């Protein structure tokens, strides 16, 4: 369970310890083993990620750095239980969302880069 606290300058998230691998690590490992993701696995990854995004957006929090390195897969590789992490660049959506461009450019929406 995640506890969300905020003040005028910060959003603080207190999260449980979650042991696992980054999705980036899992993707690389599977690539090197020439092992493709099954359709059901991809569906679970997308559903888990959309659930996490929907939840933080319901709290008016925007992550701003969603990428495979910031998605944790549990040790048992249950793709229905992914965790979104690294909220260091997040912001509260109560005004202009894009004050400055932050995040990983390779995963960023083109309109953010082009302003």
What is the set of active-site residues?
A: 65
Neighbour-count burial of 103, counting CB atoms closer than 10 A to its CB (0-12 exposed, 13-18 middle, 19+ buried)? middle
Closest to 25 measured CA to CA, from 79, 84, 80, 71: 71
Residues contacting residue 80 through CB under 8 Å, at least 6 positions apart: 44, 47, 48
Closest to 84 measured CA to CA, from 30, 32, 47: 47
């Amino acid at each position: 369970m995640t506890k969300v606290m905020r003040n005028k300058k910060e959003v603080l998230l207190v999260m449980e310890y979650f042991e696992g691998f980054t999705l980036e690590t899992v993707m690389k490992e599977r690539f090197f083993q020439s092992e493709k993701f099954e359709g059901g696995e991809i569906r679970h990854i997308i559903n888990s990620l959309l659930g996490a995004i929907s939840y933080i957006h319901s709290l008016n929090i925007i992550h701003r750095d969603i990428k495979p390195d910031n998605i944790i897969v549990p040790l048992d590789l249950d793709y229905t239980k992914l965790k979104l992490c690294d909220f260091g660049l997040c912001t509260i959506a109560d005004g202009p969302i894009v004050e400055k461009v932050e995040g990983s450019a390779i995963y960023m929406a083109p309109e953010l880069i082009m302003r």
